[in-house]
Amino acid sequence: MEMFTWLDKPMSGMTFLNMALGAVIVLGFILGVVTYTIYFERKVIGWMQWRIGPNRVGPLGLFQTIADVLKLLIKEDIVPAKADRTMFLIAPIIAFFPSFMVLAVIPFSATHIFTAASNVGVIYYIALSALTIIGVVLGGWASNNKYALIGGMRSAAQMISYEVPLAMSLLAVVLMSGSMNLVEIVEAQKNFPYVWYIVPQFFGFIIFIISATAELNRTPFDLPEAESELVAGYFTEYSGFRFAFYMLAEYVYVFAMSALATTMYFGGWEGPFLPGWLWFAIKVSAFIFFFFWVRATMPRIRTDQLLSFSWKVLIPLALLNLVATAVVMTLV
Amino acid sequence: MAIRTEELLMNIGPQHPSTHGVLRVVVKVDGEIIVDAEPVVGYLHRGTEKLAEDLQYTQIIPYTDRLDYLASMINNHAIVGAVEKAMDLEVPERAEHLRVIVAELQRIASHLVFFGTYLLDLGAMSPFLYVFAEREKIIDLFNRLCGARLTFNYMRVGGVKWDTPEGWVEEAKQFVQHLKKQMDMYHELVTGNEIFLNRVKGIGKFDTETAINFAMSGINLRSTGFNWDLRKNKPYSIYDRFDFDVVVGENGDCYDRYMCHLKEIEQSLRIVEQALDQIPEGPVMGKVPKILRVPAGEYYSAVEGARGELGVYIVSEGKDKPYRLKFRRPSFVNLQLLPKLLVGQSMSNLIAILGAVDIVLGEVDA
């Protein structure tokens, strides 16, 4: 619990050093996780499609992603002549930063290594993940490319539409646990022996997982980067490490969203026999696998259907779930 | 105050992942709604018809391979059939059977590619790889038969170039049984999917009258409910001997066109099965003169291609080369309705509609 107390202590050189060190370790750790998430995706989808997947660089292709990232890093940084230069340069960074910042509140294990047990954890996550939209829209706009513009606009419409049901479904969990602190939400699920919030909040979880898929721009909601229509969507004009930033942000969010789902609905690090961090890793991996599985199976939904599905179906249902939860919580 | 909006002029293609080659569609969009669309063709024009005027009839065959490169065998069949009809040549039984087998297998391969690429256009990745695995087996069969994997150059005026290698017929039979099982999986994976149905049902609709006025043929015509298949209505080769159904749709929308493709694979499998059972022993090449001279006159003959009526029109002056050779290319004809279908649709529907019309640019541009 030592980490949580840092913020309360007066800022000294030592605390600052500790915090900086912690941040760097988390960054390195997440980069490693993301590297192998991408490898995992390519392998899993490869197997689902009767292919082998990456198998050339390193044993079993384990260094494939590292080689890809290195290649992207040493590529020429191309800025289109007609692009809005400043905006074009900072847009990937705006999209990229929040994806790491949201991880600050995720409790990875019972010992709370390198996490902040903020009292507004849920709100913090939702608010920061919404910031990414700005980076995406900005990138689409600044590229001065028609495909990118349409892709950026689609993303904005989609992400804003699905933030609402996502937040509402999470709010129902907050009502049940009586706290927005993610650590306390996990602790609350400990109370009844391993009955996680997936059981009382099953309906809410369905809404959450659909909204999460849309929020992550993953199939069947991958319209912003619908390659068959918009070439590559908002990052059509991006190449090199700026493109890598967008891709990285996307995969960090896959990890973060899986971690959030685990925390909110599946009891976080809780579980018998195995150590907490391992339980957490298993649950998160299962979610990540689910996203990949859906990607290998589903075709893409259409823009107008996407929006009407959110506003006409998901949001009313999420509201209903929220009200029902509130009523039940008052009565019980 | 209303916000001033502008129409956006967009080039879909010629370099675009889902125009299936080098088609360019110039679309004017208002937001995501298309107000005007104009297909621009010709990026793959190679002047096949003009080249054919300087070639002997046998030399034209490899050029037809490159028209509809997903259905080379059927193109071969069209040109050799036209010359045989003009010269009144006899083709041995075994050759006729082999032609029907390879033509139908080719139709299956072509429809499988349609299935895969259409789903890829709609954002589903896996079906594409599944069907290519099956198509690969057909290609391997062809490879063993004639040594090529895409441009086969297999048929000759008066027969086919190669007889089957040992065990080929058995392998083909096994493949037919195998694919029959696979078809169930495709339906299970895709046809029942709610998202897919929402994307294709009622999209890109046209009626029989429009289709006939635009001279459409093949699945585009049949999907409107009009029963017209050259294999049944004007039987060529030995198609009248086989028992199969002509697949027709009901509404003429993208869903019907998709279903027609899948059902036609099943019908083609029936034909292949029967032909493999009936195939007689004997020569594969008939008696033909060393230099083919089509008697002076004008001849038209057509086959049911994978995409519609594939016609060959020969104008001959009695020499060993045609005076003029004209291919009626179904992809090109079917494409003409596209601008009318696209107006008022969204950008996502553009891909769904274009994909369902099922064009091959090698054939559009010739």
In the predicted structure, residue A2 carries a pLDDT above the cut 50: no
Per-residue pLDDT, averaged over B5-26, amounts to 80
Residue B98 lies in a domain: yes
Q: Percent of chain A beyond pLDDT 70?
A: 90
- Cα–Cα distance measured from residue A31 to residue A100, given in angstroms and rounded to the nearest whole number: 10
Q: What is the DSSP code (8-state) at residue A219?
A: T
Residue A78 has a pLDDT of 83
User: Do B216 and B224 form a contact (C-beta atoms < 8 A)?
Assistant: no
Residue B359 has a pLDDT of 87
| Per-residue model confidence as pLDDT tens digits over B191-241 | 888 888 888 888 888 889 999 999 998 899 999 989 988 988 888 888 899
B195/A231 CB distance under 8 A: no
Residue A17 lies in a domain: no
- Cα–Cα distance measured from residue B65 to residue B249, given in angstroms and rounded to the nearest whole number: 30
* ipTM confidence score: 0.80
CB pairs under 8 A between A and B: 82
Residue B348 structural domain = 56-364
* Top-ranked range on mean pLDDT: pick from A96-110, A185-199, A214-228: A96-110
User: Do A269 and A276 form a contact (C-beta atoms < 8 A)?
Assistant: yes
Question: What is the C-alpha end-to-end distance of chain B, expressed in Å?
Answer: 52
pTM across the whole model = 0.87
In the predicted structure, residue B314 carries a pLDDT above the cut 90: yes
- Cα–Cα distance measured from residue B315 to residue B328, given in angstroms and rounded to the nearest whole number: 14
Residue A58 lies in a domain: no
Nearest Cα residue in chain B from A221: B123
B123/A222 CB distance under 8 A: yes
Residue A265 lies in a domain: yes
Residue A5 has a pLDDT of 53
Residue A190 has a pLDDT of 76
User: Which residue type sits at A52?
Assistant: I
- Cα–Cα distance measured from residue B198 to residue A309, given in angstroms and rounded to the nearest whole number: 12
Q: Please check whether residue B191 touches A, CB under 8 A.
A: no
Q: Percent of chain B beyond pLDDT 70?
A: 99
- Rounded to 5°, the CA angle A98-A104-A109 comes to 140
Window A:284-303, CB contacts with B under 8 Å: 295-303
Q: Please check whether residue A45 touches B, CB under 8 A.
A: yes
- Cα–Cα distance measured from residue A79 to residue B194, given in angstroms and rounded to the nearest whole number: 41
Query: Rg (Cα) of chain A, in Å, rounded?
Result: 20
Residue A22 lies in a domain: no
Q: Percent of chain B beyond pLDDT 90?
A: 40
- Tokens 């950026």 locate to A152
Residue A69 lies in a domain: no
Lowest mean pLDDT among A100-114, B57-71, B175-189: A100-114
Residue A194 has a pLDDT of 57
B133/A50 CB distance under 8 A: yes
CA distance A279 to chain B (A): 31
Residue B269 has a pLDDT of 92
Q: Please check whether residue A305 touches B, CB under 8 A.
A: yes
Q: What b/e string do you get for A277-296 counting C-beta neighbours within 10 Å, with b at 16 or more?
A: eebbbebbbebbeebbeebb
Total domains present in chain B: 1
Task: List the one residue out of B124, B257, B264, B121 whose CA is nearest residue B202.
Answer: B257
Mean pLDDT of chain B: 89
- Cα–Cα distance measured from residue A210 to residue A58, given in angstroms and rounded to the nearest whole number: 36
A227 contacts in B (CB within 8 Å)?
17-18
3-class DSSP state for residue A137?
helix
| Per-residue model confidence as pLDDT tens digits over B269-296 | 999 999 999 999 999 998 888 888 899 9
- Cα–Cα distance measured from residue A257 to residue A243, given in angstroms and rounded to the nearest whole number: 21
SS3 per residue for chain B: CCCCCCCEEEEECCCCCCCCCCCEEEEEEECCEEEEEEEECCCCCCCHHHHHCCCCHHHHHHHHHCCCCCCHHHHHHHHHHHHHHHHCCCCCHHHHHHHHHHHHHHHHHHHHHHHHHHHHHCCCCHHHHHHHHHHHHHHHHHHHHHCCCCCCCCEECCEECCCCCCCHHHHHHHHHHHHHHHHHHHHHHHHCCHHHHHHHCCCCCCCHHHHHHCCCCCHHHHCCCCCCCHHHHCCCCCHHHCCCCCCCCCCCCHHHHHHHHHHHHHHHHHHHHHHHHHCCCCCCECCCCCCCCCCCEEEEEEEECCCCEEEEEEEECCCCCCCEEEEECHHHHHHCCHHHHHCCCEHHHHHHHHHHHCCCHHHHHC
Q: Helix A121-142 to helix A240-265 angle, to the nearest 10 degrees?
A: 150
CA distance A128 to chain B (A): 29
CA distance B337 to chain A (A): 20
Residue A330 has a pLDDT of 85
Residue A61 lies in a domain: no
Neighbour count for residue B2 (Cβ, 10 Å): 4
A297/B198 CB distance under 8 A: no
Residue B110 has a pLDDT of 92
> Bridge-partner residues for A169, per DSSP?
none
Local confidence band at B365 (pLDDT 50, 70, 90 cut-offs): confident
Residue A1 has a pLDDT of 42
Local confidence band at A8 (pLDDT 50, 70, 90 cut-offs): low
Residue B355 has a pLDDT of 86
> Bridge-partner residues for B300, per DSSP?
B313
For residue B14, say if its preceding peptide bond is cis, omega within 30 degrees of 0: yes
Task: List the one residue out of A275, A283, A268 whose CA is nearest residue A185.
Answer: A268
Between residues A21 and B138, the one the model is more confident about: B138
Interface test with A, best of B18, B33, B117, B126 (most A CBs within 10 A): B126
Q: Tell me how many helices (H) and strands (E) chain A has.
A: 13, 0
A48 contacts in B (CB within 8 Å)?
126
| Per-residue model confidence as pLDDT tens digits over A154-173 | 888 888 888 889 988 988 88
3-class DSSP state for residue A246?
helix
| Per-residue model confidence as pLDDT tens digits over A219-266 | 787 776 666 666 667 777 788 888 888 888 888 888 888 988 888 888
| Per-residue model confidence as pLDDT tens digits over B74-96 | 999 999 999 999 998 989 999 99
Residue B277 has a pLDDT of 92
Lowest mean pLDDT among A117-121, B40-44, B323-327, B344-348: A117-121
B190 contacts in A (CB within 8 Å)?
299
Q: Cβ-count burial of A193 within 10 angstroms (0-12 exposed, 13-18 middle, 19+ buried)?
A: exposed
Residue B339 lies in a domain: yes
Residue B327 lies in a domain: yes
Residue B50 lies in a domain: no
Residue B103 has a pLDDT of 92
Residue B81 lies in a domain: yes
Residue A271 has, within 13 A of its CA and on its CB side, a CA count of: 18
Residue B129 lies in a domain: yes
Question: What is the C-alpha end-to-end distance of chain A, expressed in Å?
Answer: 32
CATH number of the domain bearing residue B219: 1.10.645.10
Window B:88-147, CB contacts with A under 8 Å: 119-126, 129-130, 133
In the predicted structure, residue A3 carries a pLDDT above the cut 60: no
CA distance B360 to chain A (A): 17
Residue A278 lies in a domain: yes
Q: Please check whether residue A44 touches B, CB under 8 A.
A: no
3-class DSSP state for residue A58?
coil
Residue A320 structural domain = 74-331
Local confidence band at B1 (pLDDT 50, 70, 90 cut-offs): low
Mean pLDDT of chain A: 82
Partner residue opposite A300 with nearest CB, options B16, B123, B346: B123
| Per-residue model confidence as pLDDT tens digits over B45-72 | 998 999 999 999 999 999 999 888 888 9
Total domains present in chain A: 1
User: Do A169 and A207 form a contact (C-beta atoms < 8 A)?
Assistant: yes
Lowest mean pLDDT among A21-30, A65-74, A104-113, B262-271: A104-113
Residue B51 lies in a domain: no
Residue A6 has a pLDDT of 54
Task: List the one residue out of A1, A264, A268 whose CA is nearest residue A111.
Answer: A1
